[in-house]
Amino acid sequence: MKTLKLLLLSYFLLFNLAHAFPQEQLVPGGIAIVMVDSKTQPSIYYNKRKVLTLKRDGKWQALVGIPLSSKPGTHSIINKRTAQTTPFTVADKVYPAQHITLKKTAKNKRLINPNTLDMTRINREKKTLSNALATWSNKPPHVDFILPASGRLSSPFGLKRFFNEQARKPHSGLDIAAPKGTAVVAPANGTIIDVGDYFFNGNTVLLDHGQGLISGYFHLSKTLVHIGDKVLQGQKIAEIGSTGRATGPHLHWNVYLNKTKVDPAFFISDYMHQLKTNKK
């Protein structure tokens, strides 16, 4: 519990600092920013998935999403235009546990142990989400994010989660707790690629920011956009709610790179960079 409280405090500080560019964190659930020696835009892949590339300060960089399941050690990207590989090193990271208790109602029982009909729906929805998250647009990516909602951080990324003492997948995003109806805005320019009502996620919006950088908004009470809509940074797209598997009104915010869930915090502050600098 003490570890979790310290982690929440760190995120509170993080949310209140300026930002300019995603921060590199070479850990599971983090981001690798890899320099690529190329005069033209490279075609980079990691684990057979295409990777976002952009030119910064006259040099090409690859922004690589590192899966939570990644093992510590040497990883590498490949430029398919030149067959050149570039290594980077992933360090270990231990995420704390979080135990969540859902009231013993018929609905909540199904949210913990879905029945056969529920599983049919869940499997169908997994395919829909997977197809949406495979979206790749070659437009210049928008990586300079703002917070999508105002509220209290209730759960950071990566927590090992237990619902009614049953182990479930790690927490895949940031939870921002706020009253029902609180505005959810686009953190950066993009295109709406999915709007739906999902068994676990409730009312959902997915936003494409270019080159496989996608953000997701879940448990919404209301959605205000449609698939294909172009939205601008700061534009209201939805309202916070508690639909799906939720214990109260909050926004669950995901960020994906190369179809991999990464910690959204690294897109909204240079806090981690400052932390590393201060330790030197």
Distance CA(219)–CA(201), nearest Å, equals 6
What are the structure tokens assigned to 109, written together? 């029982």
Q: What is the band of 268 on the pLDDT scale with cuts at 50, 70, 90?
A: confident
Q: Among residues 87, 83, 75, which one has the least CA distance to residue 42?
A: 83
Q: Where are the alpha helices (DSSP H) in the chain?
A: 2-15, 106-112, 116-133, 271-279
Indicate if the pLDDT at residue 209 is higher than 70: yes
Indicate if the pLDDT at residue 275 is higher than 50: no
β pairing state of 97-100 and 160-163: parallel
Q: Among residues 122, 140, 146, which one has the least CA distance to residue 244?
A: 122
DSSP symbols for 8-40: HHHHHHHHTS--SSPPPB-STTSEEEEEE--SS
Indicate if the pLDDT at residue 14 is higher than 50: no
Q: Which CATH number is 97-267 given?
A: 2.70.70.10
Question: Quick one: pLDDT at residue 247?
Answer: 83
What's the mean pLDDT in 108-124?
A: 82
pLDDT in tens, 27-84: 999 999 999 999 999 999 999 999 999 999 899 999 999 999 999 999 999 999 999 9
What's the mean pLDDT in 226-241?
A: 98
- Cβ count near 273 (within 10 Å): 17
Question: Quick one: pLDDT at residue 19?
Answer: 46
C-alpha distance from residue 202 to each of 48, 218, 236 (Å) = 31, 6, 18
Indicate if the pLDDT at residue 272 is higher than 90: no
Q: Where are the domains of the chain?
A: 2-93, 97-267
Indicate if the pLDDT at residue 9 is higher than 50: no
What are the structure tokens assigned to 183, written together? 């505005």
> What does residue 155 show for φ and ψ, rounded to 5 degrees?
-150, 125
Question: Quick one: pLDDT at residue 156?
Answer: 84
Indicate if the pLDDT at residue 3 is higher than 70: no
Topology (CATH level 3) of domain 2-93 = Immunoglobulin-like (2.60.40)
* 115 or 234: which leads in pLDDT: 234
Question: Quick one: pLDDT at residue 270?
Answer: 44
pLDDT above 90 covers a percentage of the chain that reads 69
Distance CA(260)–CA(65), nearest Å, equals 6
Question: Quick one: pLDDT at residue 104?
Answer: 65
Average pLDDT, the chain: 85
Question: Quick one: pLDDT at residue 71?
Answer: 94
Can you give the pTM of this predicted structure?
0.84
pLDDT in tens, 165-205: 555 677 789 999 999 999 999 999 999 999 999 999 999 99
Indicate if the pLDDT at residue 8 is higher than 60: no
Indicate if the pLDDT at residue 276 is higher than 50: no
Q: What is the band of 114 on the pLDDT scale with cuts at 50, 70, 90?
A: confident
